[in-house]
Amino acid sequence: MVALPSMKARDGRRAGQEGEAGLVMAEIISARVIVTCPDRNFVTLRIETADGTTGIGDATLNGRELAVVSYLQDHVIPCLIGRDAHRIEDIWQYLYKGAYWRRGPVTMCAIAAVDVALWDIKAKVAGLPLYQLLGGASREGCMVYGHANGATIEETIAEAVRHVEQGYKAVRLQAGVPGLKSTYGVAKPGQRYEPADGALPTESLWSTEKYLRSVAPLFEKAREVLGWDVHLLHDVHHRLTPIEAARLGVELEPYRLFWLEDPTPAENQAGFRLIREKTTTPLAVGEIFNTIWDAKQLIEEQLIDYVRATIVHAGGITHMRRIASFADLHQVRTGCHGATDLSPVCMAAALHFGLSVPNFGIQELMPHTAKTDAVFPHAYGFRDGMMHPGDAPGLGVDIDEELAAKYEYKRAYLPVNRLEDGTMFNW
């Protein structure tokens, strides 16, 4: 009979180094946090094992970055040293259950960073691109959607045409709202869209009535110009009530959207029942979710079509695979958040995840600046409207620490939003 490796408790806390028969050990000897601002802030965790293998994970929480830095440095890293990097699930459970205080964006970002760095290490040790360890490729590549935005309908559609010419099969359309000075998702003149734009939060004004009047004409014109062979998406950014969202969904039905995103805030998951009863426009929700519990009812009752949780904010690859498996049972597909505040490390992880899960839907792509790309050299690429993580061992992304050190952290907040009468509202 084959002797099993000993299951004896080591010191109850740490992975031992005794090298028991059959156990491949990768002792964590250091972990450190790197903060850099190549055009915007990013937080990255690097974990190193005794044989010199390193893995990285994204820990960026837009506008609240330093809270995650402290959570990692002061509370997580001391517990990692000496553990076996290969025990990814056990470390995940240790950090989640062991904190006593479960869930929340700061905690789950920190856990995600550790989890992704450990998957990176495991795949490098195996000498395989990570998706191979996740079951291998389920498709040729991950379809992505690009962002077309402009102050007017004409500008937005011109941008969409440009995307289609570049090969995009799916485009999100956001246009300025007549009568409002600024709108989420629309770049300021001459700049690229970047939501975290102030050392203190900038304030914008919102009118639901003006907005609702502006959306259907945008999509009517878009179908006229772009035809029907391109997927069109739209983000409401949590700004409607369920009944208003239902009305918008119905109005947009003739234009066959791929999805309508975040139509209403999702803390009250039952609120989506009303929208769902009224409209067949597909719904996508979840870029601010951090665990499966945020989406449980939405998925179970099939109140949404796409879950937008992503690696960095929802506990890493380990937890995202749990969300995807649960969603798959209910015919809900993935549609990972991929704005510029998610670093190239997160994008790489999302692509390995997306390539491997059976119920991949689409991946958001908001390209990073050249400065960001230089700090994070990566193997992933774009072709014919799809992205592929590449075949380098591990995640296929690194951080150039020397270059990163040149860009000091700059406090930057997401804007806040008020109704025209001054009432604080959802941004």
* 210 Cβ neighbours under 8 A, 6+ residues apart: 177, 178, 179, 180
Q: Considering the complex, state which of residue 94 and residue 289 has its C-beta at the smaller distance from ligand CS2.
A: 289
The tokens describing 167, both together, are 């090969």
Question: Restricting to residues 219-248, which ones interact with ligand CS2 according to CB under 6 A?
Answer: 235, 237
Q: Is 341 near ligand CS2 (CB under 6 A)?
A: yes
* Residue at token pair 């994204």: 58
Nearer to ligand CS2, 131 or 353 (CB): 353
Judged by CB under 5 A, the chain residues 84 through 123 that form the site for Mg ion are none
| Residue 184 among the catalytic residues | yes
Per-residue string for binding with ligand CS2, 281-320, x by CB under 6 A?
------x---------------------------------
Window contacting ligand CS2 (CB under 6 A); options: 115-123, 163-171, 336-344, 384-392 = 336-344
- Compare residues 244 and 262 and give the one whose CB is closer to ligand CS2: 262
Q: Are strands 203-206 and 306-307 parallel, antiparallel or unpaired?
A: unpaired
Backbone φ and ψ of 78, nearest 5°: -60, -30
126: number of Cβ within 10 Å: 13
Q: Which one is catalytic: 163, 237, 313, 378?
A: 237
Single out the segment in contact with ligand CS2 by CB under 6 A; choices: 77-85, 102-110, 157-165, 337-345. Answer: 337-345
Euclidean distance between CA atoms 347 and 110, whole angstroms: 17
Of the residues 71, 96, 131, 184, which is catalytic?
A: 184
The residue within the footprint of Mg ion, chosen from 65, 115, 235, 305 (CB under 5 A), is: 235
Pairing of strands 283-285, 360-364: unpaired
Measured in degrees and rounded to the nearest 5, phi and psi for residue 34 equal -115, 125
Restricted to residues 106-165, the positions that interact with ligand CS2 (CB under 6 A) are none
Q: By beta-carbon distance, which residue lies closest to ligand CS2?
A: 339
By a kind-dependent CB cut-off of 5 to 8 A, residue 396 interacts, out of Mg ion, ligand CS2, none, with none
Q: Decide: 239 and 208 in contact? Cβ < 8 Å.
A: yes
- Give the count of residues interacting with ligand CS2 (CB under 6 A): 10
Q: What DSSP state is assigned to residue 414?
A: -
Q: Interacting stretch for ligand CS2, rule CB under 6 A, among 71-79, 312-320, 334-342, 403-411?
A: 334-342
Tokens of 395: 């995640």
Closest to 225 (Cα-Cα) out of 181, 171, 305, 303: 171
Q: What is the DSSP string of 196-245?
A: --BSS--EEEE-HHHHHHHHHHHHHHHHHHH-SSSEEEEE-TT-S-HHHH
Strands 306-307 and 283-285: parallel
User: Measured between alpha carbons, how far is 4 from 7 in angstroms, rounded to an integer?
Assistant: 8
CB of 239 to ligand CS2, least distance (A): 11
Looking at 195, 282, 315, 344, which residue binds ligand CS2 (CB under 6 A)?
195
List residues near Mg ion by CB under 5 A.
235, 287
* Residues noted as catalytic: 184, 237
Q: Which residues bind ligand CS2 (CB under 6 A)?
A: 62, 195, 235, 237, 287, 337, 339, 341, 364, 414
